[in-house]
A = this chain, B = another copy of it.
């Protein structure tokens, strides 16, 4: 019988960069006792986003952070919006270039993540923040 479950995950970030949340997400999803379904993650912010990325080499996370800092640089002369700090508009652009939502099928009782895929909260502001990620699971 198809049913739904949902919960909000609160993630502490320590400045711009990737924070892995795979274990928390998988732990919650596994606990719902479903075999087949669809898990959706939704980040309720405009300066943080979600990313599925390599979970093996830690340098990948640094390279990703530096790439986005380069492609959407802090540069007050480039943006009209600057009242919340020089890292705010770049944070919105980095969010636009990535995603605030991810859905992952649940098949055979397991999330369909590949071997090298980890789920990350991508913080785009310089300072630590607390970010809410809504988890929603529909399945049976």
Contact = CB atoms under 8 A, between A and B. Distances in A.
Interface of A: 2-4, 6, 36-38, 40, 42, 44-46, 51-54, 57, 59-60, 62-64, 67, 71-72, 78-81, 83, 89, 92-93, 95-105, 107, 112-117, 132, 134, 136, 138-140
Copies of this chain, count: 3
Contact of A96 (B59, B98, B107): B98
Nearest to A95: B53
A64 B93 contact: yes
A45 to B, nearest CB: 6
A107 B51 CA distance: 23
A87 to B, nearest CB: 13
A110 to B, nearest CB: 11
A116 B98 CA distance: 17
A81 B101 contact: no
B40 A103 contact: yes
